[in-house]
Amino acid sequence: MGLSLLLVGCGKMGQAMLGGWIDDGIIPAEIVVIDPNAENLAVALDLKCRGVEAAADMPTDFMPDVIVLAVKPQIITDVLPIFRAFAEKGSLVVSIAAGTRLATFEAAFGESAAIVRAMPNTPAAVHQGMIVCCPNGHVSSAQKSDCDRLMRAIGEVAWIEDEELMDAVTGLSGSGPAYVFYMIETMTAAGVKAGLPEGLAVQLAQQTVAGAGALARASDEDAAQLRKNVTSPNGTTAAGLAVLMDDASGLGPLMERTVAAATRRSRELG
């Protein structure tokens, strides 16, 4: 791809993106990773990146095309001043921090800095991420295309103009893998309660979620029709769905509250 990249923060999400990029050989040029956490830095070194514990240890001649900020929202404003010079010289800054608004970066880097606020998710590690990008007004079309190619290498990309949507994006696709993993956990536990050996229950729950996801993605039919296709009149699925789709206690109202709570928290973090 020919881009030079600086990744700031190589924790859970930084590693997921890095793994996806490197695994695909998508960054043949230069990549430098900064992380003070020795264990996390070791992951970057294992992936053959240049890794340093602090910005002060970066190679002096390094000028990244793209800086990806992947530190916690709670500390992000502390680290921004260190990277101002890069932003002034034309690096594109991509932040994946939940809640942190474009205006925060413009305040730290100057009004004319090129910033993309992005929200990925951890399936990026296997090139199955969902990444939503929201640019500020100073991102050039070349920078947008660089960011798009970078993100497309680790999943599906959507661009939005309205930053207000980023909190709901975070509540749905940013946090969403956790909801699905919990679904796998609960399906497994329910299978064990129904008499299945644990290993078999894990296999059934994982493959059912993966297979249903793949079918939903590949099919021309929407999820509601795919659900109906499983449901024989007066059969087993109808009996299960009567519980799961209960108006008051079913998954619908529960998911609505779940996404709303995560969306609210994203707003608070900002």
Give the interface with ligand A1CAB as residue ranges (CB under 6 A): 98, 170, 174-175
Residues 93, 144 contacting (CB under 8 angstroms): no
Residues 132, 118 contacting (CB under 8 angstroms): yes
Q: Which is nearer to ligand A1CAB, 98 or 147 (CB)?
A: 98
Shortest distance (Å) from residue 203 CB to ligand A1CAB: 27
Q: Any idea what DSSP says for residue 162?
A: -
For residue 171, count other CB atoms closer than 10 A to its CB: 23
In angstroms, rounded to a whole number, what is the distance separating the alpha carbons of residues 50 and 55? Answer: 12
Shortest distance (Å) from residue 233 CB to ligand NDP: 41
Q: Which of 6, 8, 131, 147 binds ligand NDP (CB under 6 A)?
A: 8
Q: For residues 240-264, b (16+ Cβ closer than 10 Å) or e, as one string?
A: ebeeeeeeeeeeeeeeeebbeebbe
81 binds ligand NDP (CB under 6 A): no
Q: 228 is in the binding site of which of ligand A1CAB, ligand NDP, none (Cβ under 5 to 8 A by kind)?
A: none
* Cα four-point dihedral sign 31, 35, 38, 39: negative
178 annotated ligand binder: no
Shortest distance (Å) from residue 199 CB to ligand NDP: 27
10 binds ligand NDP (CB under 6 A): yes
Q: 270 is in the binding site of which of ligand NDP, ligand A1CAB, none (Cβ under 5 to 8 A by kind)?
A: none
73 annotated ligand binder: yes
* N-term to C-term CA, the chain: 33
Cα–Cα nearest to 121, from 253, 34, 13, 267? 13
Q: Which is nearer to ligand A1CAB, 95 or 170 (CB)?
A: 170
17 binds ligand NDP (CB under 6 A): no
- Please give the residue whose beta carbon sits closest to ligand NDP in the complex: 11
Q: Which is nearer to ligand NDP, 188 or 266 (CB)?
A: 266
In angstroms, rounded to a whole number, what is the distance separating the alpha carbons of residues 20 and 151? Answer: 10
The runs of H, that is alpha helices, within 80-197 are 84-89, 102-109, 141-152, 166-169, 176-193
Q: Which is nearer to ligand NDP, 12 or 228 (CB)?
A: 12
The runs of H, that is alpha helices, within the chain are 12-23, 38-46, 73-79, 84-89, 102-109, 141-152, 166-169, 176-193, 198-218, 223-230, 236-244, 251-269
Span of 120-128, 147-155, 208-216, 224-232 interacting with ligand NDP by CB under 6 A: 120-128
70 binds ligand NDP (CB under 6 A): yes
Span of 93-101, 153-161, 181-189, 196-204 interacting with ligand NDP by CB under 6 A: 93-101
Q: Which is nearer to ligand A1CAB, 93 or 98 (CB)?
A: 98
Residues 82, 65 contacting (CB under 8 angstroms): no
Residues that constitute the known binding site for NADP(+): 70-73
Site residues, ligand NDP (CB under 6 A)? 8-14, 34-37, 40, 70-73, 75, 79, 96-98, 119-122, 174
